[in-house]
Structure 1
């Protein structure tokens, strides 16, 4: 009798297990990283999202607040600080906007430093310097730049363009008064992911119009346009509930919360009914998938749209919200761009269109596609929701940024000096001295004409100058290539013990 009862319990457990598997199962692309962890995460996020919807109907709290808390408890709780990273982390205000600063301890007081301004993602509704802390901390550690994460205002509490204004205020202050912050205004990197990538690109356009020039633009699966919701990646992935919350209903809700009048957004927006006939004819050439994706993609330019949506969502088609919808001349003026896209992502195709447009203009761009990653993956670095692909994405992004920190076009060489405890003392790169035009700005013409003497400082020289003789004594120097004869003499003279 007891064995029969035990068998019944076993069968019930097995049945419940397979029922749970059946409920949470979600078809995923081949080679998708840690698929079952993703399925559990996506399933429970979707359930909590539904709970938020019902609570909102009962006026208990808003769905956005619930998702923000879910975002924090799944990511923000797992902050990590590693003393061996030698990063100073502190909060302050710049231009009356809260920021979090990650500063490598090896930065020398008198040195004008390279800075990365980072805008977090979250659809303009979610995210904060707290929830993104682990990602920005790791990125700052791996690049050894001063990283400034901006706590810009979010919708729906603050409507468009409040968040953009915060990002512009911080950026303009750093470009205008860099000396006050001991940073090199000629070496400011604009960076962000998703909605933050959108902000980084929009801010870069505005800075260039103001006469400033960012050093680099690093974008991770950026949101680039709100013009065409019929692109293949939208049609393919919107219905698959990426992370359980990136779906049709929440996209409608996001657009509604961003709109000035909090209007009700109808599903015909997915057929581009928010775009007038005139705007279709004027703006379609900027994203034409037939040209830039080499696919057959039909757009009915004579189909009438929804007049209510057209009037209320006009702001979505502005370059301040859709930075891809700008002229070729504006794209040409951008700095070198590092673009990272993911496969499992509704924003995948607009990223590819952006890259294709830049290539057609002979604009320098580095584009890497993570073929086995999903949108938002890079923040799942620690805790029970850790994804290995997150570390791969941050590490690859940091490596590419490091590769482009030197401003010598012909030889991109980096150098690190570490003390006897193997802590980084200083970093250096091939390039010209401060206040001299870089190679890519026409300063050192040898990169184009080998008969002309080079004016660039080697990475080893740059590191030795910044460290000084005291910090070099018995230290180890790491460099990408074998030092030249002149650098070797200086390395010996400064007391470097070992070269790797």
Structure 2
């Protein structure tokens, strides 16, 4: 970014984009750069079915799509734990929600809650979360789970307010759907312009499968076209 002009890049036209875990990284990069006076301001962030939190893996989308390929609920927990500290031995504790103490869950309830998800996304079924006991040993392992650079959905409003124009793509049949919906609400509540694309018949990684070895899904093409349209319109 400091050398953009040297490479013939307009520093006012730099955006970040990522899908799935890459969406997590793109959101974290955007937050890290927010408010930096020594670097150009990002033009936009493009988040394609991003994973943005690991506080609650029992949201409606996690329950509804627990067995839907390509990202099963248990695999999502496995990947999150590998990213957190390279050890997935407490996967079941995360799935039960016993890795987050009640006071921490209460603190982040304003941002990570099924109450913030439109009712139409609960139509396929949702059973409210049941609390479980947590041990000091388990909590010690998960203290970093509230760091915004790992879980961007937990960033403070002061950071969210400085984020660039955003594009968020979500898929109905995706455990990460609600992460995208919750972040969309946070951005909009803080005055950040958001373009949202929801693929009603989409599933996780559908964009990556577009024209993959002859395999293609119409929904994936629609999503990709919307992404390209957004970028061209910046």
Say whether residues 1:280 and 2:105 are aligned partners. Answer: yes
In the alignment, the residues of structure 2 paired with residue 286 and residue 224 of structure 1 have an alpha-carbon distance, to the nearest angstrom, of 11
In the alignment, the residues of structure 2 paired with residue 249 and residue 300 of structure 1 have an alpha-carbon distance, to the nearest angstrom, of 18
- Return the match for 1:219 from 26, 43, 47: 47
Q: CA RMSD in A?
A: 2.3
In the alignment, which residue of structure 2 is the partner of 1:198? Answer: 24
Q: TM-score, normalised by structure 2?
A: 0.86
In the alignment, which residue of structure 2 is the partner of 1:341? Answer: 170
In the alignment, the residues of structure 2 paired with residue 300 and residue 252 of structure 1 have an alpha-carbon distance, to the nearest angstrom, of 18
Aligned-pair CA distance for 1:263: 5.2
- Where relative contact order (Cα < 8 A, 6+ residues apart) is larger, the structure is 2
Aligned-pair CA distance for 1:252: 4.1
In the alignment, the residues of structure 2 paired with residue 356 and residue 385 of structure 1 have an alpha-carbon distance, to the nearest angstrom, of 33
Aligned-pair CA distance for 1:217: 1.1
Uncovered stretches (5+) of structure 2, i.e. residues with no partner: none
In the alignment, which residue of structure 2 is the partner of 1:491? Answer: none
In the alignment, which residue of structure 1 is the partner of 2:187? Answer: 358
Taking the TM superposition and a 5 Å limit, the aligned residue runs for 1:310-459 are 310-382=139-211, 383-403=213-233, 405=234
- Return the match for 1:304 from 116, 130, 133: 133
Larger Rg: 1
The count of residues paired between Structure 1 and Structure 2 equals 226
In the alignment, the residues of structure 1 paired with residue 49 and residue 77 of structure 2 have an alpha-carbon distance, to the nearest angstrom, of 20
Contact 2:60-2:114 within 8 A present in 1 as well? no
In the alignment, the residues of structure 2 paired with residue 247 and residue 199 of structure 1 have an alpha-carbon distance, to the nearest angstrom, of 20
Cα offsets for 1:234-278 (capped at 9, x unmatched): 01111x2412xx224433432443343625124132121111223
In the alignment, the residues of structure 1 paired with residue 195 and residue 77 of structure 2 have an alpha-carbon distance, to the nearest angstrom, of 32
In the alignment, the residues of structure 1 paired with residue 24 and residue 190 of structure 2 have an alpha-carbon distance, to the nearest angstrom, of 21
In the alignment, which residue of structure 2 is the partner of 1:233? Answer: 61
Cα offsets for 1:417-460 (capped at 9, x unmatched): xxxxxxxxxxxxxxxxxxxxxxxxxxxxxxxxxxxxxxxxxxxx
Distance 1:189 1:261, change over 3 A: closer
In the alignment, the residues of structure 1 paired with residue 192 and residue 82 of structure 2 have an alpha-carbon distance, to the nearest angstrom, of 36
Aligned-pair CA distance for 1:179: 2.0
Say whether residues 1:289 and 2:114 are aligned partners. Answer: yes
Cα offsets for 1:184-233 (capped at 9, x unmatched): 11110111111111111100111124334100111111111111111000
Distance 1:381 1:288, change over 3 A: closer
Q: Which runs of 4+ in 1 moved over 3 A?
A: 291-301
Aligned-pair CA distance for 1:320: 0.8
